[in-house]
Amino acid sequence: MTLSTQAGRPVPYSDLGDPLNPARSKLESMERPISLAGACAALTEFWSPRVLARVNDQYVKVARVQGEFPWHTHDAEDELFLVLRGALTIGRAAVDGGPVTLYPGEVFVVPKGLRHNTSAVEETWIALVETVTTLHSGSERTGLTRSLDEQLRSLEMPGPVK
């Protein structure tokens, strides 16, 4: 099952529209609920988030993570992390409060301008809420950096996941 299909082919989220209100963002018109766990289960790469929905000027994303993501800063955007499965550590300088570890059901906001990194010892599933202008790794570019086009790719969804 895919999040959306057209003639039996997956349709990228960026191609989804609202025929009754063409001015509405293509990601703002959902056809049915989306399981965050199901979306995470469908991901095949670590540190490669996918956009599931848009709410005003915010994207709702999911990612599978393990290992360490490089230190970076988002100069103009806050970033919300919600752990679905596993444990995520958000690294911060001691002067900024030091590292914080999140467990399933816990949420944390990294304020704009704060240098941080993320890491997970075991495979961890997360949801993120980020302004649509947020670059994946801020001004840093690494082999883990994903473009917005990559994050908007369609996602093959499995059956129900609990």
Per-residue model confidence as pLDDT tens digits over 45-103: 999 899 999 999 999 999 999 999 989 888 989 999 999 999 999 999 999 999 999 99
Cβ pair 63, 75 in contact under 8 A: no
**CATH class of residue range 36-145:** mainly beta
Q: Tell me the H-state helices in 8-159.
A: 36-42, 148-151
Per DSSP, 57 falls in state: T
What residue ranges in the chain does DSSP mark as E strands? 5-6, 9-10, 50-55, 58-72, 79-85, 88-91, 100-102, 107-110, 116-131
Mean confidence (pLDDT) of the chain? 80
Tokens of 86: 């596993």
Length of the chain: 162
The pLDDT of residue 5 is above 80: no
Higher-pLDDT residue of 150 and 123 is 123
What was the pLDDT predicted at 125? Answer: 98
Say if pTM beats, i.e. exceeds, 0.85: no
Where do the CATH 2.60.120.10 domains begin and end in the chain? 36-145
Percent of the residues in the chain that have a pLDDT greater than 70, as a whole number = 75
